[in-house]
Amino acid sequence: MTILRINDVFLQFAGSNRPALQKINYQIHQGDFVILLGSNGSGKSTLLKLLHRQYQPGQGEIYFHDKPIRQHHYHQFSRQVAVLNQNVADSLFTSLTVYENYLLMNQQHTLRSRHQEGKTFLQNYLQDFNPNLSGKVDLTINQLSGGEKQALALALCLLEPPSLLLLDEHTSALDPKTSEQIMQLTQKMITQHNMTCILTTHDLDIALRYGNRILMLNDGSILNMFDKDEKGRLSKDKLYAAIMHNRPAYHISTLSREPFGRGYLHPACLYLTYLLV
C-alpha cells in the first residue's frame, strides 16, 4: 500500500535564486524505512518539512494515503505524522523540565488521553528508552546530556506512535556508542509499532545497516534511488563515491572491488574510474 506519493515537487525559497527542491518524484509504501542521503544543502530537511506540512510546495503535490496532504485535517494529520528535527531544541522546550515537556506533549493528545498525568507513568515509560532518564524527570532539558535529550525527544515523539515517522539526523550530535543505542531503539520502535520511516543521515554505516531503501539527493534533485535488492548490494565505497562525485552509483560499479582494502578507496583509483566510465 502506498502511504506517501510525491509528485513532481518543486520549492524555491523567497529571495533565493535557485530551487531548494525540483522534480521530486517518489513513492513510499507502508512499512518502508527510507534512508535519505545527500550532502549539506542538498534539500533533505526541506523535503521532510514539506512532508510534515511545515512548508508548502511551490509546484507539485504530495499525497498521504492517496489524498493531498494539504486536504487532510491538520489535527488528525499531525497525529499520524511525527517529526524529530535536526536540532533537538526544536522538539523540546529546553528551559522546562522533562515532566513539563511530557505534560505539554501529552496535552496535544488529550482526545485519546491514554496517558496518566503522573510522574510514575513517565518514569516507567522512559525506562525503555533510557534508564538514566527515569530518575531525571524533574531536571530541565538543559541539564540533560545530548544522548538523553535525543532519547527523550524520541520517547515523547512516540507517546502516540505515528504511522509515518520523519527523523532528521536525530543521531548526528551523538558519540558512536550513544548513536548506536538510539538507532537500535529507533529500529525497535519502528518494528514494534509497524511504522513507516524516513531518516536523514550523513553516516554511511547507518545508511547501509538500517532501512530497506535509500533516496539520495543532490542540489535539490534526486540523484539515486536504491530499493531493497540494490541497497543490499551497495558498499560503503559506492555510496561514498556517488555522494563525492554527484554521480549515479550504477555508473561506478567497479568501485566495489575495494583494491586498497575494505572500507578504503585510494583517491587516484576513484578518479581513474571516474574518468573511465
Ligand X SMILES: Nc1ncnc2c1ncn2[C@@H]1O[C@H](COP(=O)(O)OP(=O)(O)OP(=O)(O)O)[C@@H](O)[C@H]1O
Q: Shortest gap between Cβ of 41 and ligand X (angstroms)?
A: 4
> Which of 41/68 has CB closer to ligand X?
41
- Which of 41, 135, 232, 259 is close enough to bind ligand X by CB under 6 A? 41
Question: Which stretch, 39-47, 173-181, 230-238, 255-263, contacts ligand X (CB under 6 A)?
Answer: 39-47
Q: Check the CA dihedral 240-241-245-247 and report its sign.
A: negative
Q: Shortest gap between Cβ of 237 and Mg ion (angstroms)?
A: 24
Select from ligand X, Mg ion, none the partner in contact with residue 40, using the beta carbon and a kind-dependent cut-off of 5 to 8 Å: ligand X
Is-contact 235 256, C-beta < 8 A?
yes
Interaction residues for ligand X, span 10-29 (CB under 6 A): 13, 16, 20
Residue 45 touching Mg ion (CB under 5 A): yes
Q: Shortest gap between Cβ of 211 and ligand X (angstroms)?
A: 17
Select from Mg ion, ligand X, none the partner in contact with residue 46, using the beta carbon and a kind-dependent cut-off of 5 to 8 Å: ligand X
| CB-based contacts of 244, cutoff 8 Å, min separation 6 | 270
| CB-based contacts of 17, cutoff 8 Å, min separation 6 | none
How far apart are the C-alpha atoms of 6 and 64, rounded to whole Å? 9
- Which of 6, 35, 37, 45 is close enough to bind ligand X by CB under 6 A? 45
Is-contact 165 31, C-beta < 8 A?
no
Q: Shortest gap between Cβ of 220 and ligand X (angstroms)?
A: 7
Residue 52 touching ligand X (CB under 6 A): no
Contacts 24+ apart (CB under 8 A), 185-193: 185/129, 185/151, 185/154, 186/154, 186/210, 189/154, 189/158, 189/161, 190/33, 190/165, 193/158, 193/161
Applying CB under 6 A, the residues found at the interface with ligand X are 13, 16, 20, 38, 40-46, 86
